[in-house]
């Protein structure tokens, strides 16, 4: 107990403590800590359990407040906002029937039965929602004594009845009330609706109850909300910008890739896309060679027995493609790990070889649901830049740090900001002992702590065979993408009986790191298309230089320039079509050609070029050799910025 009379001590996440009066609520603690901003103190976590701020604290409780910067805080903010949406709809359409309204990425939705609306209704729903917010109602948690009482309370709503009947008999059931609105919900919720400063209806669509096409069709309303009007403005800008950058539109339009019904979920990479792909992979191979990785290629099809040994058949079978050959069962690999285990097994190893770093650009296939497949971001067949590092226990920290630094080097090359998450053991379905999991998790955590890099812990989201570090990259318009991963595994070496001879001549088990830094190469390609809006830097660009001739008499000089550029390793093309010069220039800009060189009588006479960049800035006449020398560092150094422009396109 605190030494102060009639007070109690609360432990905060930063390890500090604070004394407050006995029986204080979380809201009173937040006020004591001056967490008064609308984005702060949305709810709290008390001793590992999320609570409303109305919850009464006890001496020595450990408390962490969720803010809008936290994923947990956003979920609470948006779930409360979903109740506001439902309340507004019921005020306007009293006969509508509530179903569910969860938070989702960047907002929330609510599904209604007995409701028909159109886009024209959005403004009046928003107006009613803002009226409710202005009332500054305080959501109040109410405990429902039993399942029977819950069934009676919601007896007129068949959807709530179905949900309640699915709960365990002894489950704790709660509901939340805000003014005239009452809904079944586990919470927690915001302390007051006044924290919602911006509210926007986004779209409406049909949705089947519980996602089953056999069930009733409902009306779904999507919306978002924020604790600051500027955040809403920024988000809406991001949405519009994302539409312009959509790789599913830009990719086929620019001849980078295509998707066909004949190969659902498996993209075709086209010639211009292959240039980007090959440049990316050449860079990947170069830095891995520098870091002493050895590259291998393992079979795409291997026997069921192999996948049983690895544990994938038991834990990953639903996501694998399996078939029979000569009465024997095979599977297409969903990941490259077991093949690399066979490679390691193929010869004996000494401690002097370790750490042994093996990389593979593995072509893998996963049975993704058709509804989940999307462009290059979620596919059924993709290339994973896998690697497995076999090492001694004393190598764990240094090898993890090397892998982390290599990932950060890659992302920084593309100006992709990054944050990391340490994902720990899932509650169910894992392999390996408690001791192995503890050692693996501590190994990752100690390496991250030593790196001094920021990271967050993502409880229970590890792989079934080990904990992992996930890299989340942020693109040019602020969206985040889960990309690379580093996983520490002591289970597969055990399952495949892997060994090395230590310095005492004893056969011992190696520890292994799985790691992929691009993740899926297809997905990373899609991210780059959207990050750069297909305006690739010169070293990646499939159309770096285009020469446009004014008339056929200029073709000979254009071809001479083409030879010159190619001698300096520049990809170049000559447009000698019959279109007008203005149309040729416009096409080059649409196709995101980095440098557009126009050749007419003047340029032929002076042996020069007329330079224009894809941002439609005319740089005038210049000597071709001088131009090449100016852009050569951009190519060789993999610069993102053109020497003819101070900022990135």
Domain CATH for 11: 3.10.20.30
How many beta carbons lie within 10 A of that of residue 495, not counting itself?
Answer: 17
Contacts of 230 (CB under 8 A, 6+ apart): none
Active-site pick, 40, 178, 279, 384: 384
State the total domains in the chain: 4
Tens digits of per-residue pLDDT, 535-587?
999 999 999 999 999 999 999 999 999 999 999 999 999 999 999 999 999 99
> Distance between CA 122 and CA 125 in Å, rounded?
5
475 and 398 both lie in a single domain:
yes
What secondary structure letter does DSSP report for 266? -
195 and 264 both lie in a single domain:
no
Tens digits of per-residue pLDDT, 9-57?
999 987 799 999 999 999 999 999 999 999 999 999 999 999 999 999 9
Q: Is 514 a catalytic residue?
A: yes
Q: Is 141 a catalytic residue?
A: no
What secondary structure letter does DSSP report for 215? S
Phi, psi of 48, rounded to the nearest 5 degrees: 90, 0
Q: Is 147 a catalytic residue?
A: no
Q: Point out the domain boundary residue: 21, 47, 67.
A: 67
| Helices and strands in the chain, H and E counts | 19, 33
Q: Which two tokens stand for residue 505?
A: 């001549």
61 and 88 both lie in a single domain:
no
Q: Domain for residue 611, yes or no?
A: yes
Among candidate residues 525, 504, 443, the one with its CA nearest the CA of residue 268: 525
Angle at 457 between CA 452 and CA 459, to 5 degrees: 160
Tens digits of per-residue pLDDT, 183-219?
999 999 999 999 999 999 999 999 999 988 899 999 9
Contacts of 289 (CB under 8 A, 6+ apart): none
Phi, psi of 405, rounded to the nearest 5 degrees: -65, -35
Q: What is the CATH number of the domain that holds 472?
A: 3.30.930.10
Active-site pick, 138, 189, 366, 425: 366
At 5, is the pLDDT very low, low, confident or very high (cuts 50, 70, 90)? Answer: low
> Distance between CA 132 and CA 92 in Å, rounded?
12
Three-class SS state of 519: strand
Average pLDDT, the chain: 93
Q: Is 312 a catalytic residue?
A: no
> Distance between CA 300 and CA 332 in Å, rounded?
6
Active-site pick, 61, 183, 337, 489: 337
**pTM (2 d.p.):** 0.83
Q: Domain for residue 339, yes or no?
A: no
Neighbour-count burial of 291, counting CB atoms closer than 10 A to its CB (0-12 exposed, 13-18 middle, 19+ buried): middle
> Distance between CA 353 and CA 498 in Å, rounded?
14
As a whole number, mean pLDDT of residues 117-121 equals 95
Q: Domain for residue 49, yes or no?
A: yes
Contacts of 569 (CB under 8 A, 6+ apart): 635
Three-class SS state of 585: helix
Q: What is the CATH number of the domain that holds 616?
A: 3.40.50.800
> Distance between CA 314 and CA 304 in Å, rounded?
11
**What is the 3-state composition of the chain as percent helix, strand, coil, each rounded to the nearest 5?**
35, 30, 35
Tens digits of per-residue pLDDT, 360-414?
999 999 998 887 889 999 999 999 999 999 999 889 889 999 999 999 999 999 9
Q: Point out the domain boundary residue: 531, 558, 584.
A: 531
Q: Which two tokens stand for residue 217?
A: 């069709």
> Distance between CA 616 and CA 260 in Å, rounded?
34
As a whole number, mean pLDDT of residues 253-274 equals 95
62 and 84 both lie in a single domain:
no
Three-class SS state of 258: strand
* Residue-range definition of the domain harbouring residue 504: 252-298+349-531
Tens digits of per-residue pLDDT, 638-647?
999 999 874 4
Three-class SS state of 506: coil
Higher pLDDT, 4 or 11: 11
What is the sign of the dihedral through the CA atoms of 638, 644, 648 and 649?
Answer: negative
**What spatial distance separates the first Cα and last Cα of the chain, rounded to whole Å?**
61
Q: Domain for residue 272, yes or no?
A: yes
113 and 173 both lie in a single domain:
yes
Q: Domain for residue 582, yes or no?
A: yes
At 447, is the pLDDT very low, low, confident or very high (cuts 50, 70, 90)? Answer: confident
Helices (H), 259-336: 271-290, 304-310, 312-315
pLDDT score of 91 more than 90: yes
Phi, psi of 70, rounded to the nearest 5 degrees: -90, 145
As a whole number, mean pLDDT of residues 119-141 equals 96
As a whole number, mean pLDDT of residues 428-432 equals 77
Tens digits of per-residue pLDDT, 287-335?
999 999 999 999 999 999 999 999 899 888 899 999 999 989 999 999 9
Active-site pick, 514, 515, 531, 543: 514
> Distance between CA 395 and CA 391 in Å, rounded?
6
Q: What is the DSSP string of 395-462?
A: GHHHHHHHHHHHHHHHHHHTT-EEEEEEE---SSS--S-HHHHHHHHHHHHHHHHHHT--EEEETT-S
Among candidate residues 559, 104, 495, the one with its CA nearest the CA of residue 315: 495
Three-class SS state of 478: coil
458 and 584 both lie in a single domain:
no
- Interhelix angle 396-413/434-451, nearest 10 degrees: 50
Neighbour-count burial of 570, counting CB atoms closer than 10 A to its CB (0-12 exposed, 13-18 middle, 19+ buried): middle
Q: What is the CATH number of the domain that holds 193?
A: 3.30.980.10
pLDDT score of 463 more than 80: no
Q: Is 337 a catalytic residue?
A: yes
Q: Is 388 a catalytic residue?
A: yes
Among candidate residues 398, 467, 401, the one with its CA nearest the CA of residue 439: 467
Lowest mean pLDDT among 229-238, 287-296, 483-492, 537-546: 483-492
115 and 233 both lie in a single domain:
yes
371 and 417 both lie in a single domain:
yes
Among candidate residues 503, 508, 420, 431, the one with its CA nearest the CA of residue 468: 420
Tens digits of per-residue pLDDT, 495-550?
999 999 999 999 999 999 999 999 999 999 999 999 999 999 999 999 999 999 99
Tokens 């083409």 appear where?
562
Q: Domain for residue 412, yes or no?
A: yes
Q: Point out the domain boundary residue: 508, 531, 554.
A: 531
85 and 122 both lie in a single domain:
yes
Tens digits of per-residue pLDDT, 145-179?
898 999 999 999 999 999 999 988 888 899 999 99
As a whole number, mean pLDDT of residues 229-243 equals 93
Q: Which two tokens stand for residue 75?
A: 């979920």
What is the sign of the dihedral through the CA atoms of 475, 479, 483 and 488?
Answer: positive
Q: Domain for residue 524, yes or no?
A: yes
Contacts of 374 (CB under 8 A, 6+ apart): 248
Active-site pick, 138, 245, 468, 515: 468
94 and 223 both lie in a single domain:
yes
Tell how strand 572-575 and strand 545-549 pair up: parallel
> Distance between CA 239 and CA 231 in Å, rounded?
12
Kind and range of the H or E run holding 624: helix 624-636
Q: Which two tokens stand for residue 615?
A: 């941002």
In this prediction, residue 649 carries a pLDDT of 43
Q: Is 243 a catalytic residue?
A: no
Contact 199, 84 (CB under 8 A): yes
199 and 105 both lie in a single domain:
yes
At 449, is the pLDDT very low, low, confident or very high (cuts 50, 70, 90)? Answer: confident
38 and 82 both lie in a single domain:
no
Active-site pick, 83, 388, 402, 554: 388
Active-site pick, 386, 395, 470, 575: 386
In this prediction, residue 441 carries a pLDDT of 86
Phi, psi of 421, rounded to the nearest 5 degrees: -130, 135
Q: Domain for residue 570, yes or no?
A: yes
């Amino acid at each position: 107990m605190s030494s102060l009379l009639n007070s109690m001590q609360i432990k905060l996440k930063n390890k500090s403590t604070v004394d407050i009066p006995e029986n204080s609520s979380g809201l009173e603690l937040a006020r004591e800590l001056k967490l008064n901003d609308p984005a702060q103190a949305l709810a709290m976590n008390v001793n590992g359990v999320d609570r409303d701020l109305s919850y009464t604290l006890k001496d020595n409780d450990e408390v962490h407040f969720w803010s809008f910067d936290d994923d947990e805080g956003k979920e609470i903010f948006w779930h409360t906002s979903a109740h506001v949406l439902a309340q507004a709809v019921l005020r306007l359409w009293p006969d509508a029937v509530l179903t569910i309204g969860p938070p989702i990425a960047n907002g929330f939705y609510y599904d209604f039965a007995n409701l028909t609306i159109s886009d024209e209704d959005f403004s009046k729903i928003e107006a009613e929602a803002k009226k409710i917010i202005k009332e500054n109602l305080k959501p109040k948690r109410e405990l429902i004594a039993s399942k029977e009482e819950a069934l009676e309370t919601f007896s007129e709503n068949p959807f709530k009845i179905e949900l309640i009947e699915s709960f365990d008999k002894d489950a704790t059931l709660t509901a939340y009330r805000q003014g005239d609105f009452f809904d079944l919900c586990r919470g927690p919720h915001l302390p007051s609706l006044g924290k919602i400063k911006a509210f926007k209806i986004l779209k409406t669509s049909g949705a089947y109850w519980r996602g089953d096409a056999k069930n009733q069709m409902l009306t779904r309303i999507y919306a978002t909300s924020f604790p600051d009007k500027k955040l809403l403005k920024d988000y809406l800008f991001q949405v519009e910008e994302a539409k312009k950058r959509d790789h599913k539109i830009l990719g086929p339009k620019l001849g980078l890739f295509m998707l066909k019904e004949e190969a659902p979920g498996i993209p075709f990479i086209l010639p211009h896309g292959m240039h980007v792909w090959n440049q990316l992979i050449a860079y990947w191979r170069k830095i891995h060679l520098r870091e002493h990785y050895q590259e291998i290629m393992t079979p795409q099809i291997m026997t069921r027995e192999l996948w049983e040994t690895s544990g994938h058949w038991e834990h990953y079978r639903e996501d694998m493609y399996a078939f029979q050959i000569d009465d024997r069962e095979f599977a297409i690999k969903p990941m490259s790990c077991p093949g690399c285990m066979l490679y390691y097994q193929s010869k004996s190893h000494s401690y002097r070889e370790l750490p042994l770093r093996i990389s593979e650009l593995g072509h893998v296939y996963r049975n993704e649901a058709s509804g989940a497949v999307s462009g290059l971001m979620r596919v059924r067949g993709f290339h994973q830049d896998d690697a497995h590092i076999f090492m001694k226990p004393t190598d764990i920290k240094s090898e993890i740090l090397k892998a982390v630094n290599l990932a950060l080097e890659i992302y920084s090359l593309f100006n992709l900001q990054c944050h990391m998450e340490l994902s720990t053991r899932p509650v169910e379905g894992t392999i390996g002992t408690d001791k192995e999991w503890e050692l693996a998790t501590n190994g990752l955590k100690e390496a991250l702590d030593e790196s001094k890099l920021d990271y967050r812990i993502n409880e229970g989201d590890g792989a079934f065979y080990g904990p992992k570090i996930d890299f989340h990259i942020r693109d040019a318009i602020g969206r985040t993408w889960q990309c690379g991963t580093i996983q520490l595994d002591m289970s597969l070496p055990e399952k495949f009986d892997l060994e090395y001879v230590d310095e005492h001549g004893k056969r011992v088990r190696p520890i292994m790191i799985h790691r992929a830094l691009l993740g899926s190469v297809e997905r990373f390609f899609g991210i780059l298309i959207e990050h750069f809006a297909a305006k690739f830097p010169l070293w990646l660009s499939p159309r770096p230089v285009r020469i446009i001739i004014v008339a056929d008499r200029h073709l000979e000089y254009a071809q001479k320039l083409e030879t010159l550029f190619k001698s300096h390793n520049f990809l170049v093309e000559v447009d000698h079509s019959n279109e007008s010069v203005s149309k040729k220039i416009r096409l080059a800009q649409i196709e995101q050609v980095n440098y557009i060189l126009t050749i007419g009588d003047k340029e032929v006479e002076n042996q020069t070029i007329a330079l224009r960049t894809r941002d439609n800035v005319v740089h005038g006449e210049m000597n071709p050799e001088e131009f090449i020398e100016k852009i050569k560092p951009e190519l060789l150094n993999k610069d993102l910025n053109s020497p003819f422009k101070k900022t990135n396109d």
